[in-house]
Structures are given as C-alpha cells and as structure tokens.
C-alpha cells in the first residue's frame, strides 16, 4: 500500500470512530433512565404500588380498585407504553391513581415507565 493510501485509510478509520462514538453517546442520552426511574418511583409511587411493584404498598390496603400489580403478566398484558404514559400523566379517573403531569417532569415520567417495566422481567 502506498503511503498516501495508508494515510487515507487511517484518516477514514479515525473519522468513523468519531462518528460512531457520537452516535452511541446520542443514543444513550435519549434512552429512558430506569435508575432515575427507581428514584422517582420510590418518592412518588411506592406508597401505593409497593417497593416490589406488586400493588401492596402501605396505603393500598383499603383501596378499591387496588393499585396495579406490575409484576403480574395478566394484569399488565393490555398496558402498552402509550397507556402507561397516559395513565401516569393523566391518572385513572374514579380511582386513587392520580395524574403526575403537574408533579413530574416529562423525562421523569419516561424514566419511571422504564422502571415500571422492569418489574415484569424480575
């Protein structure tokens, strides 16, 4: 390989490296953060949904309907991302599930959704 070709290959490799690093960085900063979601959950949701996410928090005993059990595939089967977002943002009318649109940032709602979904996999 000529010296010129080697320099060209090295430059191209360097450029690709920078592009891929930036792409990975961008993807990570956009993704919801379940670790922050756990903090949001502990502060705002545990009292009803319980720290295990199974709907038996200290305030849940006398509630009808009961808080959703996030660990139950049956209870969670119809609840997709769009419904999670709507229910957490706007609440569930006629139940103790209040909306968090005014109390949580949009990014905190995305993060808590990511955390709620981890209960099904545990």
Site residues (vs ligand HEC, CB under 6 A): 44-45, 47-49, 59, 63, 65, 67-68, 79, 83-84, 87-88, 92, 95-97, 100, 112, 116
Helix (H, G, I), strand (E, B) or coil at 64: coil
- CB 33, min distance to ligand HEC, A: 14
| Assigned token pair, 89 | 């943002």
Residue nearer to ligand HEC on the CB measure, 38 or 49:
49
Q: What is the DSSP letter of 61?
A: T
CB atoms within 10 A of CB 93: 7
Residue nearer to ligand HEC on the CB measure, 44 or 72:
44
Q: Is the preceding peptide bond at 69 cis, omega within 30 degrees of 0?
A: no
- CB 29, min distance to ligand HEC, A: 22
């Amino acid at each position: 390989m000529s010296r010129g070709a080697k320099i060209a290959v090295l430059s191209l490799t360097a450029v690709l490296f920078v592009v891929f690093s930036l792409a990975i960085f961008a993807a990570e900063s956009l993704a919801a953060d379940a670790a922050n979601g756990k903090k949001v959950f502990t502060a705002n949701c545990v009292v009803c949904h319980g720290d295990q996410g199974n709907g038996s928090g200290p305030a849940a005993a006398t509630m009808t309907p009961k808080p959703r059990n996030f660990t139950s595939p049956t209870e969670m089967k119809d609840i997709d991302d769009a419904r999670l977002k709507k229910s957490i943002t706007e609440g569930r009318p006629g139940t103790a599930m209040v909306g968090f649109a005014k109390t949580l940032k949009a990014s905190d709602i995305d993060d808590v959704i990511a955390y709620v979904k981890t209960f099904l996999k545990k």
